[in-house]
């Protein structure tokens, strides 16, 4: 039995989708990020870094999407959610690493350009410059994913993998920061294919995702 600490609409959706795709037995524990629950004493005992997702596997806590997603795939080999070939697996993790280390931080800065200043306001001009740079980085990443999907149906080609649920998170975030995601035809078709998958739809419904309203 797995317990997933998550918050709707955040990057924890990738693990949520994957558990469902794998047919895992799991429960979910919602952490109210908007109320700061991730910084509270109780959740710090689960993840001292105060972030979702965290996956509890019989008392062993795993954090970070790049660790959680391959871990789940390995626990459910029959679900075939990770490439069997070592080089292909490395490519898959490579893209997950890029999403987590480049694209995710760009989204966070686009949404909260004031955060680098901490307690001290950086001023409107500096915050605007941070926001503009973050949005440019994010949009370039969305275009890169769109190009990648132009001649393949899934992020890794013919095989549907853990990377697909993770990529969907970023499509949703692009909409959230008012980017013209529908102009990215291949990425948008991918989003539609994802929504057609029963496991994905179930999680989007459970997380009350705006992606369904837009579909
Ligand atoms: N690199 C981490 C990032 C985790 C992360 O930043 N999660 C966000 C939600 S998308 C979070 O918990 N934010 C709460 C906060 O920063 O206070 C991963 O991929 O698991």
Which residue's C-alpha comes closest to atom 20 of ligand 1?
A: 64
List pLDDT tens digits, range 63-91: 999 999 999 999 999 999 999 999 999 99
List pLDDT tens digits, range 135-193: 999 999 999 999 999 999 999 999 999 999 999 999 999 999 999 999 999 999 999 99
What contacts 103, CB < 8 A, 6 or more positions away? 137, 138, 141, 170
List pLDDT tens digits, range 5-35: 999 999 999 999 999 999 999 999 999 999 9
CA of 157 to the centre of ligand 1 (A): 27
CATH topology identical between 2-79 and 86-197: no
Model confidence band, residue 198 (pLDDT cutoffs 50, 70, 90)? very high
For residue 50 and ligand 1, the question of a CB distance below 6 A is answered with yes
Helix (H), strand (E), coil (C) string for 1-34: CEEEEECCCCCCHHHHHHHHHCCCCEEEEECCHH
For residue 52 and ligand 1, the question of a CB distance below 6 A is answered with yes
Model confidence band, residue 60 (pLDDT cutoffs 50, 70, 90)? very high
pTM: 0.97
The CATH topology of domain 86-197 is: Glutathione S-transferase Yfyf (Class Pi); Chain A, domain 2 (1.20.1050)
Which residue's C-alpha comes closest to atom 16 of ligand 1?
A: 51
- The CATH H-level superfamily of 2-79 is Glutaredoxin (3.40.30.10)
Residue ranges per structural domain of the chain: 2-79, 86-197
Indicate the SS3 state at residue 113.
Answer: coil
Which residue's C-alpha comes closest to atom 5 of ligand 1?
A: 51
């Amino acid at each position: 039995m797995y317990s997933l600490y998550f918050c709707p609409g955040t990057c924890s959706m990738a693990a949520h989708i994957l558990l469902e795709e794998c047919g895992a037995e799991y429960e979910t524990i919602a952490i109210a990020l908007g109320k700061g629950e991730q910084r509270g004493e109780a959740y710090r005992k689960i993840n001292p870094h105060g972030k979702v997702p965290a996956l509890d596997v019989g008392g062993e806590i795993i954090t970070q999407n790049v660790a959680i997603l391959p871990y789940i795939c390995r626990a459910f080999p029959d679900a075939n959610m990770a490439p069997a070939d070592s080089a292909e697996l490395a490519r898959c993790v490579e893209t997950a690493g890029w999403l987590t280390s480049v694209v995710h931080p760009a989204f966070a800065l686009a949404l909260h350009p004031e955060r680098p200043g901490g307690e001290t306001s950086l001023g409107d001009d500096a915050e605007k410059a941070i926001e503009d740079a973050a949005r440019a980085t994010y949009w370039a990443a969305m275009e890169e994913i769109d190009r990648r999907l132009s001649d393949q149906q899934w992020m890794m080609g013919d095989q549907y993998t853990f990377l697909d649920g993770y990529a969907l998170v970023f499509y949703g975030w692009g909409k959230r920061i008012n980017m013209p995601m529908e102009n990215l035809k291949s990425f948008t078709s991918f989003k539609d294919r994802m929504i057609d998958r029963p496991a994905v739809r179930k999680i989007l419904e459970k997380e009350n995702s705006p992606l369904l309203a837009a579909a």
